[in-house]
Structure 1
């Protein structure tokens, strides 16, 4: 297509408003709900400009980006109205369209809300792919739109121009990580660290993170292990002419057993009745006098926390000469702390503790505000946080393996019981290091301990999904529980990585000989193969009537069979028809014990 043909085709599309709106879902994996839809645009199906990249590239080349975007927004509004949309819509807008000389804020609001969509239901996505010509004017427009009720998202973070600078200046509600950093993230350390740094920034700056381009279960598992629950991609829904999502792709909600349930900030929250900016300092003083156990009062405006009024501050002012007379009719906002730490209900104790430590280098805040969906939930105290963290660590240490600090036998038994009681298929994997004793005897116990710690790290890195659990039975024996459909592939990957690392620890002469001479259990010198790793896998379906001891026995049997195989991996499948034979074997073992 020549440039002239392209310009004419683009003009035909703009004049005839010949664009189509598609919807792609944004899903909260934790709650298994759709939280919104991004509206995407396509050209006519019979046009060379059908695909979005071709369409918008033509708009750039012909200087028609703003005109094209107006048509796209108008069509998106009509399509949302036709489909009865009742969820937030994410719309892409280029920086140029937001500049006053191209479109005033009022005209942009009219364009976005012309079909009955309220500003609070619109998230404006500002792509990092486009250069920002006038950063100050753009910042002014975005802040004005936020005041009108629109939410702002930085799209394609990491793909181009000024995402981090904009992030700092406009404080977006959402940040969307470019799909480049999500694709095969479970295989790329650099991508992991980049996304992890973005997660930390989002937690500190109070904005939500959306991972774009999620296409595989492996990517989803890793993202969820990093605390990312908002995702968008083919795994949960391709762009469609109507709003739809594939929630089955993320599996059913998985609740941890009671002994492993995460204690979060919500459990620290005390539902203290807040003040409003309309309350006076006199109102606050009377509350503090009648409720002596309260040392801080949150100040909340239309459900959102705006500050914290500390008891000591009120007492300090009111105890001065004429202090009460001069100040009791003033608003509580005159003395409240505007820098109160605000944390989400689902934040872990560790995350809250880290926020407190990083918030102020010289002063440790004694209270923090807890929110749910950005609305006030209650007030937490640092004292309670520290007590609960100490108790949690003592409980963990009591039942943890002293070397690896992974859950030990008591917690393994509790996890086994919980898994067997819940009607959901899972896999139990028994890992055992082969020929570990000769390695220990020849190279020393210190290197032996390092090798065990190395295996613990490989297992926790590989089995990192919310449905995964890793325990340390003792010595060189580990157990893993997982609901992944790819558990065999993950086990083979762990075997390959661990064995490569283990063999690199031998001296060169032993590696070259591929064997080591050591004393066997009978006291005789013998040649042994180098270190390897066996994995006995037991697949348990939701119909298997199995006891804890039965599962332990069958897993031990599977591990024994794995040791005899060339690939050191054996799979046992338990189901309604085959369970009796395995239970008979388990009962036989139990009877001979």
Structure 2
């Protein structure tokens, strides 16, 4: 296998068969593209297509510098054809900048031949790789800066000497490694680390770039911390053309609520066990299997339970159909033709996440199959067609029961989500939100303002409750529910109450704000003064392994909401265990009708 990869690398270097892709770097404040990072790939049908495989093979074969030289030439030619004044970020290893490898004359000739200026280029120096002679590297970097090149330290926090190099070189940009961005909204330590880096960058006059932003939640945190430059799949995948998606820059103002997902909507739902072949199986054996099983179009290659990739029927057929193809290849092991970049997902991964990973996968085509593992061991295959069909059906079902004003899940999906949580028998909180004195506001200021108040609350709930399994639903009118397993659920509820009290004030006139009340009629038609709107939050806490039904939790939620509206701070928490699972059936504590359409 290693010999084959070495031969393929030599072929790519000889034919200069390298492609440059461009991934955008976006300026949040200006809502525009700041520049592009040049990323190198092998041919789409080559085992060296992906960057990790390409550069790891070059490193094993001692040809990293030759590959880097080719990638730089290819990137320069590709970028010159776009004619854009934006910055081009290129990755260079420390070894490439060390004498005698570094050649200033060749570098200047490369720029001249492609009509580029030094000020157009940002050299990314990764701290993943050790530096043999830091003093010599520093001399080269100082020379580059003097020539007009800009310098960026890449992958901060991932390797060897980023902070030391930062202090000595004073780079123009520092790129924060994806590790510190992934799920930052749920990780206090990562947020604190980023805050300290932001403070240091401000003191040193350096710009930060947050790499690998893939979700709206990650983007919000990065934006709130004041990092202006961002990069990741949320804004654009690497492509041959210089394009970017700037829609996500408005995500804080136009958050799309998450639709509910049933408990069993995981990769396991699509798992079909296909008897695997091993790495020692021949292509002849694989082909006989594929011919004898008409409904199977890919075979997993598995050794000792560990998936190695997929052998595709179309690829074997294509090879065997060529002159002498079968005679030449049928005795070879399947590893000569298997796809090692097959998507591997865990049995419990939600289908929405599987879909995102398939779409974001760095390939020129959508993979038709993916491997499903359980506890790290092969479990079966999933079909992309089945995945898309299931997600489409679920979206249609969700749209049917969504609230038309907020587009949040309505009563049917709320009840389904509640049933799923109670069947899990894991701890969770059900928080019932209701707007106080909403009717007088609606009567005085009109239904349009009333709708805006309801939309404000829906935006706050989806803005604050961001955990993966947080569920936000709209019962109707000014009633909302949140189901959350997060230990900070009650804290988040308090945050929503405070933000609602603050942001709802903009709908009142100055005179009303000064007086602190509005005048309207009460339920008996008598003139009355009503305070400005506020938010009540009644919470039901369900403990672990607690046997409680969805209807019982619904009844308790209605009771908790009533107690919250009567409380001075508009908060009340009830515990289902304290009532021994008995349902409340008084007329005053009626069920909030989660299970009605």
Calculate the TM-score normalised by the size of structure 2: 0.51
The CA deviation string for residues 276-325 of structure 1, in whole angstroms up to 9 with x for no partner, is 33333222222222112221223334543333322222222323333323
CA displacement 1:326-371 (0-9 Å, x = unmatched) = 3322333333334333333333222222222233564222222333
Aligned-pair CA distance for 1:554: 4.8
Q: For residue 132 of structure 2, what is the aligned residue in structure 1?
A: 134
Alignment RMSD: 4.9
For 1:321 and 1:424, how far apart are their aligned partners in 2?
61
Residues 271/189 of structure 1: CA separation in 2 closer, same or farther (3 Å cut): same
Distance 2:439 2:210 in 1: 38
- 2:512 is paired with a residue of what secondary structure? helix
Distance 1:313 1:131 in 2: 37
1:542 deviates by 8.1
Cα distance, 1:528 vs structure 2:
3.2
Q: Could you tell me how far apart the structure 1 residues matched to 2:161 and 2:489 are?
A: 37
Task: Describe the superposition over 1:443-479 as per-residue Cα deviations: whole angstroms up to 9, x where unpaired.
Answer: 5544433432332343345445577544322111123
Matches within 5 A, 1:218-233: none
In structure 2, the gaps of 5 or more residues are: 1-125, 135-154, 165-177, 199-207, 216-259, 592-597
For the 8 Å contact 2:184–2:191, the answer to whether it is kept is no
The structural deviation recorded for 1:498 is 1.5
TM-score (ref. length: structure 1): 0.51
CA separation of 1:447 and 1:189: change in aligned 2, threshold 3 A = farther
Q: Name 2:372's counterpart in structure 1.
A: 370
1:45-444 → structure 2 map (5 Å cutoff):
132-134=130-132, 157=158, 161=162, 182-183=187-188, 260-360=262-362, 362-416=364-418, 427-444=429-446
In 1: Cα distance, 2:346 partner to 2:290 partner: 26
3-state SS in 1 of match to 2:308: strand
Q: Distance between the aligned counterparts of 1:345 and 1:545, measured in 2?
A: 26
Between the aligned partners of 2:342 and 2:426, the Cα distance in structure 1 is 43
Please tell me whether the aligned partners of residues 129 and 160 of structure 2 are also in contact (alpha carbons under 8 angstroms): no
Q: Provide the rounded CA distance (Å) in 2 between the counterparts of 1:543 and 1:374.
A: 27
Q: CA deviation at 1:500?
A: 0.9
The separation in 1 between residues aligned to 2:209 and 2:337, in whole angstroms, is: 39
Query: 1:495 Cα shift?
Result: 1.0
Q: Report the count of equivalent residues.
A: 378
Distance in 1 (alpha carbons) for counterparts of 2:183 and 2:547 = 43
Distance change in 2, residues 1:129/1:359 (3 Å): closer
Gaps of 5+ in 1: 1-127, 137-153, 164-173, 202-257
Correspondence for 1:586: 586
- Offset at 1:189? 10
Give yes or no for contact 1:543–1:575 (8 Å, CA) kept in 2: no
Asked whether the 8 Å contact 1:155–1:176 carries over to 2, the reply is no
User: Do the aligned residues in 1 keep the contact of 2:425 with 2:546 (CA within 8 Å)?
Assistant: no
Does the CA-based 8 Å contact 2:128-2:160 persist in structure 1?
Answer: no
- Work out the CA distance in 1 between the residues paired with 2:427 and 2:349: 29
Partner of 1:570: 572
Distance 1:550 1:187, change over 3 A: farther
Q: 1:200/1:519 Cα in 2 relative to 1: closer, same or farther (>3 Å)?
A: same
Q: CA deviation at 1:261?
A: 0.7
Q: CA separation in 2, counterparts of 1:583 and 1:296? A: 53
Deviates more, 1:404-413 or 1:481-490: 481-490
Distance 1:358 1:299 in 2: 24
- 2:439 is paired with a residue of what secondary structure? helix
Partner of 1:491: 493
The 1-side partners of 2:364 and 2:546 are apart by 58
